Each structure stands twice: as structure tokens, then as C-alpha cells.
Chains A and B, each alone.
Chain A
Amino acid sequence: MRAPRLLVAVLVVVLALVPALPMAGMKQYVLHVMIQILIWAFIGGAWSLMGRFGLVSLGHGAFLGLGAYCAVLLWNFFGVNPWLAGIVAMVLTGLLAAVIAYPCSRFQVVGHYFGLVTLAVGEVIRLLIVAERDWTGGSLGVSIKPVGGDSLLAMQFADKRVFYYAALVLWLAGLWVWARVDRSMARSAMEAIGEDETAAASVGIHVTRFKIGITVLSAVLTAVGGVAYAQYISYVNPDTLSGIGVSLRIVFAVVLGGMYSLLGPTVGTALTIALSEYLRIAFGLRLIGMAETIYGLLLVIFIIFLPSGIYGSLAALLRRPRRTPVPAAG
């Protein structure tokens, strides 16, 4: 556990210094990309809390969209500031997660079934958002009403650097939660459940309680990520924040980075966002759709050839030399 802690500390110092580096006019863009990476890494980490224990959700877009739209709609229509709206969002997504997780655990909906049920939930939320277009703006999305100037209460700032440091803090908080779960009883219990649910139940592990707990935690954190993203971009749209597309992207980023490690989701998110940005810029407005095509192709190739993700494969590579007992160099 010491190596990741040191790595994280170094990373934090480096990241904290980024806004101070001279970047010849590219700074706004670099900050923009980094903020996205930090927020999506946070969301990916939240997903991995479920994913690493075998609860593969293909519908995290539901929690993301619910959280984002909660914050935006409560502000636009009722003037509720995003901090309070965030709490409302957490409660709502927590409830939704519990409502889904309880029957799933009690009735043994697992594996492919669970994935497809969560996919259905994600689609329900997306369709609801589109259907209620008088409130939500439907497929066109809705922008956050500007408060005119910087406001901590309304979470609106003109300077990207404020968002950057806020995202950094959020990302660190996500890592902290992940590390706490990793070291807790819940982790051992969930691993036991993942291996053999009946055996776990027979030794007294309260399967339903743990499953619901981890699902609610994952959902609530995802909602917070949704609120953060909405506040940064100032615009929400059902296709970018709910539905199967975004749900799959989250899962891809985490699995490619490595589901079982602290920094796996971050590595995966950084790589997938960097890749998609690079392709977007390389192609520009020529050959519309080609950037995404190559992105999809690369995702498939990565999944086929790097099944344990980048972090996992790297970790395995680094571990190998230590297995052979080498006499001290003379």
C-alpha cells in the first residue's frame, strides 16, 4: 500500500503545480481537458467500487444524469443552490440505487441479468429526461442560468483554475473513499460474496446489506460527479449524461485502466480522454465520425489484447522480476 500512497502524493504535487506552468496560450485548453479527466476519473472510481466486486453496472448513466439534472433543474426553476441540490441529488440517487439493489440481491439477479437490468434503468432515466421536455429541454439539453460573475454558492466561476483545484480535491476525495473501502470489512465481505454468495451467506455475511450498501455508495458518488460536471460545463444533455453511451464509456475507462487498483480508473480515464481528444483534434472537421470510429476500434483492440487493463498489465510486468530469487550482485 505504500507505493500507491507515495505515487499519489507525487501526483498531487505535480497536478497542483499544473496551472502555474507556462503553456503558451494552450493553458485554457489543457486545464479544460484535465478538469474533465479529474471529474470522470472520480466517476470511474465510483463505478469501480461496484465493478471490482462483480456488480457490473451498465447503467451508471442513470445516477449521473439524475444528479446532473437535479442540480440544474433545481437551480433554474427554484433557485436552489448546487450545494443543497447536490444533497437532494445524493438522496434521490441513493434511493434509486437501493430500490434497484434490494430486489437484485434478494432475488439473485446477477451477472448478465444485472448488467441488462441496470442498462434498462439507465435508459429509463434518459427517456424520462427526453420525455419531460417542458422541464428538461428534452434532447436539446438545458443550460444553467448564469448568476453573472463568480459565486461560490452557485458554483459558477469564470476562472478555470478554480474549477481545476475543486476537481483535484474531488478526485482526491474519491481516491480516499476508494482506499477506505479497500481497507474495510466491506471489501473482504464483498470479495467473499463475489466468489461464492451462498458460502458467504453461510458464514454470516449479510449479503443483501453489503450489496445494497456498495451500490448506494457508488450511485451517490456518481451523482456528485454528475453535479460537478454539470456545474463545470454549465450545460446538460441527456445523451452525454445518461443512457448506454456514457455508461459504456465509464466502464471502458475503468476496465482499460484496471478495475482493481486505486489509480486504475484514473489511468484509464486519462488515457481514453486523451485519446479521444487527440483523435478529435487530428481529424478536426474533416471526415466527421472517423475520430469516433477509430476510438471504438481501439477500444475493441485494447479489450481483446489487454484484458486486465493497462495498470493491471503493467503491475504484472513489474512484479515478475521479483519472483526469481536473485543472489546479491557481487
Chain B
Amino acid sequence: MIDPIFLAEAALNGIMLGGILALLALGLNLIFGVIDIVWIAYVDLVMLCMYLVYYLVQVYGWPVWLGALASIALGALLGIGVHLLIITPILGSAPINQLLATGGLLFFLQSFATFLWTTDHKSVRMSLPSFEVGGIFVPLTRLIPFAISIVALIGLYLFLTRTFVGTAIRAVSQDREAMSLMGANPQRIYIVTSAVGGLMAGLAGALLIFQYSVHPFFGGQFGPLTFMICVLGGLGNMVGAFVASFIMSEIISLAGVIWSTEMGYVIAFVVFIVMIFARPGGILARRS
């Protein structure tokens, strides 16, 4: 049988992975909740930000914190760019056309990345110590990103609840038609939402590049997982996405240690399918 130490380590790794997945899921959810469009190419934006951090920190020797800030800035810019160039023209189109527009963006970004940087895997070398807690090794390369993601999630929570724009965003996701009656400018809300969503992607990218290597098809690794987490938590439901992130990350981590990494994902996806049938609106759905 598996040594319980490995299981405990896997469980801990799952939690640390969950923090970053939560960043992705909440960013995507925010955009969906407000604009009602799923950005299929969302994780490919993360991929672009990862490349930025790689080039700035690994190749040009920028300090890590500056590279991370640049990644966040790029993420926000990409978010706004995607919204203005691709989403705005199709706001009134049929849902399938909207899905295909962001799907086409996915093809475009993956191929463009292949053209610019080839399919080589690139990662940032950082050796940080791990410390031991009761026989379990906790690598700082995982712990620090986790801590930062929690801080970011708290920041997002405060933004959504304590600022005017944040409250407007929450209001829109509850009732889009009433938004213009309340005197909020839709275009401005959409742009801010896209910027925040992109910002989360940029931050996630900065945190991920130190643990995973980036390549043009990185979106294929985390993309489907992010969608599933959002649907599992209930599309548009922020708390649900938060909880679902950790559920999925734990399953992946534990099953990955018990069987294999791929089976970890397979089992997580199967669990997703089963849970969707049990709770079609998501585990914390507003409707049951």
C-alpha cells in the first residue's frame, strides 16, 4: 500500500495546487458571470504571460518580483484586448458563435506561440529550499505561490465587496438587464471585468512558471481543468469555484500519487461528470 507519508504529501500538494487553480477559475468565472461568455482561450492567455516571465526573468535577468508585476500588467492588457477585439463584436451572437470565436483565438494563440517560440518547453530555474514538517517535505517553490494566491484571492474578495466597481460587477452578474437601470455603464463594467480576469491570469502565469514549464500547448493541460472547475462550482458562482478548485486539485494530487499522473486527471474528470449529474447547477448552485 502507499506510504501514508506520500498521501499526506500529495494532499498538501493538492492544496497548494488548488490555490493557483482557484486564481484561474475565479478569473474565468468573473468574466462569465458578468459577460456570459466562456473564454475558451483563457488559459492560453496564462501561457503568454508565462512566456513573458520566462523571458524577463530567465533570459534578461529581471528580478522575480518585477517579472511577476509585468506578467500581471500583461494579463490585464490581454484581457482588455480580447474583450475589445473579439468579444465586443460578438456580444449579440448565438452562444455557439461566441464559443467558436474564443475557440478560434485558442488556435491562433497556440500556433502563434509555436511560431514565435517553438514547441520547446521553457521553465525558470529557481532553487528554493524545502523544509520538513513531520516527515513531509514542503517545497518553498510551491508554498510561496500558494500563499500569494491566497492573498490575491482575499484581494479579489475585498475588491468585489468593498469597492464600487466591484459591487457593480457583482450586481451585473446577478441581473444584467437591471444594470443599466441602476446607472452603471455596461461597457466600462465589461472592460474592468475583462481586465481583472486577465490580471488573475497574469498572476497565475507568474506563479505557475516557477513550477511548470511553458510550451505553446500549455492551455491544453490546464484549460479543460479550469472549465470543469468553473462548471463544478456553478458557472458564475465565485465561492463554488473556490471550493471546486480544491476538490479537483485534491483528487488530481491523490489519484496521481496512487495511480499515475494521467489517471489522476482522468479520475478527476470522471468525478466531474458524475458530480454534474448529481448537481447539474454546480455543487453550490443557487438553484438545486
Residues of A participating in the B interface, judged by any CB pair closer than 8 Å: 51, 56, 58, 100, 103-104, 107-109, 111-113, 115-117, 119-121, 123-124, 127-128, 130-131, 243-245, 248, 251-252, 255, 259, 287-293, 295-297, 299-300, 303-304, 307
- Cβ-defined partner of B108 (8 Å) among A112, A119, A296: A296
Residue of B nearest to A113 (CB): B231
Q: Is residue B51 within 8 Å, beta carbon to beta carbon, of the partner chain? A: no
Contact A252 B228 (CB under 8 A): no
With A and B bound together, what is the CA distance between A127 and B261 in angstroms? Answer: 10
Q: Which residues of A contact B89 (CB under 8 A)?
A: 304
Contacts of A121 in B (CB 8 A): 273
Query: Which residues of chain B are within 8 angstroms of A128 by Cβ–Cβ distance?
Result: 266
Partner of B111, one of A113, A131, A252, A293: A293
Q: Is the CB of A58 within 8 A of B99?
A: yes
Name B270's closest neighbour in chain A (CB-CB).
A124
CB contact between A111 and one of B95, B118, B228 (< 8 Å): that residue = B95
Q: Does B242 contact A (CB under 8 A)?
A: no
Q: Is B175 close to A, CB under 8 A?
A: no
Q: A131-B266, A255-B96 are in contact. List 13 more A-B contacts (CB 8 A).
A: A107-B280, A109-B277, A109-B280, A112-B95, A116-B230, A244-B223, A244-B224, A245-B220, A255-B97, A292-B115, A293-B112, A299-B100, A303-B97
Instruction: Determine the residue in chain B with the shortest Cβ distance to A248.
Output: B103
Do B269 and A307 touch (CB < 8 A)? no
A-B contact pairs, 11 of them (CB 8 A): A119-B227, A120-B272, A127-B266, A248-B100, A248-B103, A248-B107, A252-B103, A255-B100, A292-B114, A299-B104, A304-B90
In the complex, how many angstroms separate the beta carbon of B82 from the nearest chain A beta carbon? 11
Bound complex: CA of A127 vs CA of B86, how far in Å? 30
- Say whether A307 contacts B94, CB under 8 Å: yes
With A124-B270, A293-B115, A303-B90: A116-B231 Cβ-Cβ less than 8 Å: yes
> Given the complex of chains A and B, what is the CA–CA distance between A120 and B276 in angstroms?
11
Measured in the bound complex, the distance between the Cα atoms of B107 and A296 in whole Å is: 5
Residue of A nearest to B107 (CB): A296
Within the assembled complex, what's the spacing in Å between the Cα atoms of A68 and B144? Answer: 45
A287 touches B105 (CB 8 A): no
Q: List which B79-133 residues lie within 8 A (CB) of chain A.
A: 86, 89-90, 93-97, 99-101, 103-116, 118
Judging by beta carbons under 8 Å apart, are A116 and B273 in contact?
A: no
Find chain B residues with CB under 8 A from A131 CB. Answer: 260, 262-263, 266
Find residues 256-278 in chain B having any chain A CB closer than 8 Å to their own CB. Answer: 260, 262-263, 265-266, 269-270, 272-273, 276-277
Q: At the interface, yes or no: B69 with Cβ under 8 Å from chain A?
A: no
With contacts A290-B115, A293-B115, A300-B108 taken as known, whether A251 is within 8 angstroms of B220 at the C-beta atoms is no
* B45 proximal to A (CB < 8 A): no
Residue pair A289, B114 in contact (C-beta under 8 Å): yes
* Closest CB in chain A relative to B144 CB, distance in Å: 30
CB within 8 A of B104: which of A244, A289, A290, A300? A300
Q: How far is the CB of B139 from chain A (nearest CB, A)?
A: 26
How far does the Cβ of A122 sit from chain B's closest Cβ, in whole Å? Answer: 8
State which of A117, A130, A299 has its C-beta within 8 Å of the C-beta of B107.
Answer: A299
Are A123 and B269 neighbours in the complex by a CB distance under 8 Å? yes
Do A288 and B223 have beta carbons less than 8 Å apart?
A: no
- B residues near A (Cβ < 8 Å) are 32, 38, 40, 86, 89-90, 93-97, 99-101, 103-116, 118, 216, 220, 223-224, 227-228, 230-231, 235, 260, 262-263, 265-266, 269-270, 272-273, 276-277, 280
A124 touches B38 (CB 8 A): no
Q: A116-B231, A124-B269 are in contact. Are A289 and B280 (CB under 8 A)?
A: no
Residues of A within 8 A of B276 (CB): 103, 109, 113, 117
CA distance A163 to B104 in the complex (A): 31
- The residue in chain A whose Cβ has the minimal distance to the Cβ of B89 is A304
Complex interface: chain B residues within 8 A of A51 (CB): 96
> Which residue of chain A is the closest to B228 with respect to CB atoms?
A120
CB-nearest residue of chain B to A108? B280
Asked whether, in the complex, the Cβ of B100 is within 8 Å of the Cβ of A252, the reply is yes
B90, B97, B118, B223: residue with the most chain A Cβ atoms closer than 10 Å: B97
In the complex the two chains form, what is the Cα distance from A124 to B86 in whole Å?
Answer: 29
Cβ-closest chain A residue relative to B263:
A131
In the complex the two chains form, what is the Cα distance from A128 to B111 in whole Å? Answer: 25
Q: How far is the CB of A14 from chain B (nearest CB, A)?
A: 30
**Across the interface, do B262 and A124 meet the contact criterion of CB distance under 8 Å?**
no
CA distance A131 to B262 in the complex (A): 6
Q: How far is the CB of B174 from chain A (nearest CB, A)?
A: 17
When the two chains form their complex, are residues B106 and A248 in contact, meaning their CB atoms are under 8 A apart? yes
